[in-house]
Amino acid sequence: MTFQTTLLISSFSGYLAAVGFYLLHVRHRRKAFLAAAFLLILSGFVLQTALLLLRWRTAGFLPVTNLFSTQLFFSWTLALVFLYFEIRYRIHSAGLFVVLLNLLLLGSALPRNPAIPPLIPTLDTPLFTWHIVFSFTGYALFAMAFSLGVLFLVRKNRPDSALPPLPVLRKLNEEAIFLGFCFFTLCLILGSIWAQVAWGFWFSWNIKGVWSFIVWLFYAGMCHAKFVRRWQGTGYAWLSIAGFGVVLFTYLGIGLLLESNHPLE
Amino acid sequence: MGARLWSLFCSLKLAIVLASLATLLVMGGSLAMHFNPSVFGNLDGTIMAAWWRQSGETNLSMTWWLPLAGSCLLLLGINSLCCFIDWARNWRRRWRKTGEYLIHSGFVLVVIAYVWGSVAGFRSEGNQLTIGETISVPHMPEFSLKLESFEPVLNNDGRPLDMRNTLALYRDGTPVKKTVSRINHPLIWGGLTVIPSSFGQFPTGFQFHWPTRGTVGLEPGTSVELPSGGGLRVLSFYPDAALAADGRVLRGGDRIGNPALEIELTHPYRDPWRGWYFLRGRLPFPLVEAGVHIWPMEPIYRSVSIVTINRDPGSRLALGGGILMGTGVLLAMISFYYKRSRGDRPQVG
């Protein structure tokens, strides 16, 4: 077993154990479980960061050019976003979905070949690196918004003291959408500049480009919808859920099922 | 009436309706695009206006959503512009929203830039240039492009890594821009972008063994003096030539198939002879008679750089829009954290 595999399995185990502690907290409501879960996620994140840095150093570029690498990076951004909300707002098990998604991504990455493919010359630019960093940070924040949207609906229909109050869930959901939109806007700006220097046009009608624009337009609409009374709360929660469906299709659906200029394998 | 119209165009709800409509139309349309590559396949190879004339108009059953989505986005652009003007008029009261409205103004510029580029630009792929060759820029007759030098960069396995093209752009014969262009580093001048997209080699002549002279390369333009006082001059070279029924020699592809040289033979006391030498056949008698004894050895290859030449007059405006949006995002984030630290946020309905 290589050092990189050890790091990967260790961080996966940390996240898995953290989910266990969060579930125990949901059932038994003990602060010790929360503290243990937080520490486990933090250690998993530190190990995953070390793994990412090691792979970056080995490759000489941020390795995000195949499915394994993007899963690893997306999972890292999910953990980062969870830690941001946990440290800032103490959301605890309210972010459980994000941790579960993280586990799913890492778990499905485990059996894959971790070898880093050589970098295609066109991708050898900082524009690509930052395009990817902002893209996955945006995706992770949209995943958090999905999680908070689901919990908002659950909390509304089944009042449960284990979940934060509705106004807090709404506030966090709006923050996740706003930050996600900001990062995704930066991703599209850098992607467009890169497309101009690489292909000679800044907007591509390739299906990935079209759906990335759809994601941006959808969340731009959401950033406005929060000011409309009718869409506040429940409507916003449903929109967050639908938006994440669009994100999933843009990242996985197009990358795996359709032919695009952003292949994952 | 005017105030009501202005109010409508500054409306937040209008923005949501237009964004939702455009989103739904493009979502559905993207499926039509994916399953009809014969109609939509060339959308990136040309500008929108040209594509619409070529394919869009004739396949309305599959493309109807595009003008509708485009209209929604145009109206969204107008809506964003009106909101921006409304904000700018009340800047003293609403300066804290500067970030958000910079994003609006950037979006307006991006929409205008796309329309401008889609109508007044062009895209031209597969332009071949050999070293020293000058070609006219498509649709811009006063501009020409010269490839001064070309160097493919290969790794140890021979895999192409990059291609360094020294390109010079001329306007009416006067150089306006010269740059070493490579992957992700195009030649950019005004709205013109020249990108090295590929490279290759093609045969330009042949090397021969000439017992009295050693190895001799014959390409179009090559002249050789003969001991008899006359000369041999190569007029043209076809890598793959075919003899038509009427006696004409026709050019096939660029790969070596049935190579042929068109040669002119001059002699001080005779009329010049001009004819084709098919390298797979015998040497024509007039050449033998003139003392030319040559045996073909191998083709002479020359590198060719293949470049894409695109013109988008809106690209600089789009960049300006992108910079405004990026700045707006950063300001909006700063403002967001400032407002959150003061507990300022929309009221729960």
Q: Do the domain assignments include residue B141?
A: yes
Are B224 and B180 in the same domain?
A: no
Nearest chain A residue to B37 by CA: give it: A206
Q: Does B191 touch chain A (CB under 8 A)?
A: no
Cα separation, B3 vs B88, in Å, equals: 17
Are B165 and B227 in the same domain?
A: no
Q: Kindly indicate the confidence band of residue B275, based on its pLDDT and cuts at 50, 70 and 90.
A: very high
Are B197 and B219 in the same domain?
A: no
Residues of chain B contacting residue A206, judged by C-beta atoms under 8 Å apart: 44
Does B85 have pLDDT greater than 70? yes
Are B27 and A214 in contact (CB < 8 Å)? yes
B95-120 average pLDDT score: 94
Are A189 and B326 in contact (CB < 8 Å)? yes
Range(s) of the domain holding residue B78: 2-89
Q: Kindly indicate the confidence band of residue A257, based on its pLDDT and cuts at 50, 70 and 90.
A: low
Which residue carries 């009340």 as its tokens? B90
Does A44 have pLDDT greater than 80? yes
Q: Does B184 touch chain A (CB under 8 A)?
A: yes
Does B63 have pLDDT greater than 90? yes
Cα separation, A200 vs B89, in Å, equals: 38
pLDDT of amino acid B348: 38
Q: Do the domain assignments include residue B330?
A: no
Q: Does B24 touch chain A (CB under 8 A)?
A: no
Q: Does B339 touch chain A (CB under 8 A)?
A: no
Task: Return the percentage of chain B with pLDDT > 70, whole number.
Answer: 98
Q: Is B35:A257 a contact under the CB 8 Å cutoff?
A: no
Q: How many domains does chain B have?
A: 3
Angle, helices A67-89/A126-157, rounded to nearest 10 degrees: 50
Q: Do the domain assignments include residue B56?
A: yes
Are B23 and A217 in contact (CB < 8 Å)? yes
Are B13 and B56 in the same domain?
A: yes
Closest chain B C-alpha to A182 CA, distance in angstroms = 6
Are A228 and B329 in contact (CB < 8 Å)? no
pLDDT of amino acid A134: 96
Q: Do the domain assignments include residue B102?
A: no
Are B218 and B288 in the same domain?
A: yes
Q: Kindly indicate the confidence band of residue A157, based on its pLDDT and cuts at 50, 70 and 90.
A: confident
Q: Does B310 touch chain A (CB under 8 A)?
A: yes
* B16 vs A122, A200, A224: nearest CB: A224
Does B7 have pLDDT greater than 50? yes
What are B144-171's pLDDT values in tens digits?
A: 999 999 988 887 777 778 889 999 999 9
Cα separation, A21 vs A30, in Å, equals: 10
Residues of chain B contacting residue A193, judged by C-beta atoms under 8 Å apart: 319, 322
Q: Does B324 touch chain A (CB under 8 A)?
A: no
What are A13-39's pLDDT values in tens digits?
A: 999 999 899 888 878 888 898 899 999
Q: What are phi and psi of B243, to 5 degrees?
A: -95, 115
A125-131 average pLDDT score: 92
pLDDT of amino acid B344: 63
Q: Kindly indicate the confidence band of residue B349, based on its pLDDT and cuts at 50, 70 and 90.
A: very low
Q: Is B288:B197 a contact under the CB 8 Å cutoff?
A: no
Are B287 and B222 in the same domain?
A: yes
Q: Do the domain assignments include residue B229?
A: yes
What are A10-19's pLDDT values in tens digits?
A: 999 999 999 8
Each residue of B260-287: b (16+ CB within 10 Å) or e? bbbbebbbeeeeebeebbbbeeeebebb
Are B281 and B240 in the same domain?
A: yes
Q: Do the domain assignments include residue B298?
A: no
pLDDT of amino acid B343: 72
* Cβ–Cβ pairs < 8 A, chains A and B: 124
pLDDT of amino acid A181: 97
What are A167-219's pLDDT values in tens digits?
A: 888 989 999 999 999 999 999 999 999 999 999 999 999 989 999 999 999 99
Are B128 and B179 in the same domain?
A: yes
Are B133 and B196 in the same domain?
A: yes
Q: Do the domain assignments include residue B15?
A: yes
pLDDT of amino acid A262: 58
Report helix, strand or coil for A34.
Answer: helix
Q: Which residues contact B268 (CB under 8 A, 6 or more apart)?
A: B228, B229, B230
Q: Do the domain assignments include residue B245?
A: yes
Q: Is A78:A143 a contact under the CB 8 Å cutoff?
A: yes
Does B342 have pLDDT greater than 50? yes
* B19 vs A198, A202, A220: nearest CB: A220
Are B59 and B79 in the same domain?
A: yes
As a whole number, the mean pLDDT across chain A is: 89
Are B261 and B182 in the same domain?
A: no
pLDDT of amino acid A121: 83
The H-or-E segment that residue A223 falls in is helix A207-225
Cα separation, B319 vs B304, in Å, equals: 32
pLDDT of amino acid B116: 96
Q: Does A110 touch chain B (CB under 8 A)?
A: no
pLDDT of amino acid A260: 59
Closest chain B C-alpha to A167 CA, distance in angstroms = 7
Q: Kindly indicate the confidence band of residue A160, based on its pLDDT and cuts at 50, 70 and 90.
A: low
Task: Return the percentage of chain B with pLDDT > 90, whole number.
Answer: 66
Residues of chain A contacting residue B152, judged by C-beta atoms under 8 Å apart: none
Q: Does B306 touch chain A (CB under 8 A)?
A: no
A235-254 average pLDDT score: 91
SS (H, E, C) chain B: CHHHHHHHHCCHHHHHHHHHHHHHHHHHHHHHHHHCHHHHCCCCCCCHHHHHHHHHHHHHHHHCHHHHHHHHHHHHHHHHHHHHHHHHHCHHHHHHHHHHHHHHHHHHHHHHHHHHHHHHCEEEEEEEEECCCEEEECCEEEEEEEEEEEEEEECCCCCEEEEEEEEEEEECCEEEEEEEEECCECEEECCEEEEEEEEEEEEEEEEEEECCCEEEEECCCCEEECCCCCEEEEEEEECCEEECCCCCEEECCCCCCCCEEEEEEEECCEEEEEEEEECCCCCCHHHHHCCCCCEEEEEEEEEEEEEEEEECCCHHHHHHHHHHHHHHHHHHHHHHHHHHHCCCCCCCC
Closest chain B C-alpha to A68 CA, distance in angstroms = 24
DSSP string, A75-110: HHHHHHHHHHHHHHH--GGGGHHHHHHHHHHHHHHT
Cα separation, A36 vs A31, in Å, equals: 9
Nearest chain B residue to A186 by CA: give it: B326
Cα separation, A98 vs B312, in Å, equals: 42
Q: Does A225 touch chain B (CB under 8 A)?
A: yes
Does B198 have pLDDT greater than 80? yes
Higher pLDDT: B343 or A81? It is A81
pLDDT of amino acid B228: 77
Q: Which residues are bridge partners to B278 per DSSP?
A: B260
Closest chain B C-alpha to A239 CA, distance in angstroms = 11
Distance of CA A129 to the CA centre of its chain: 16
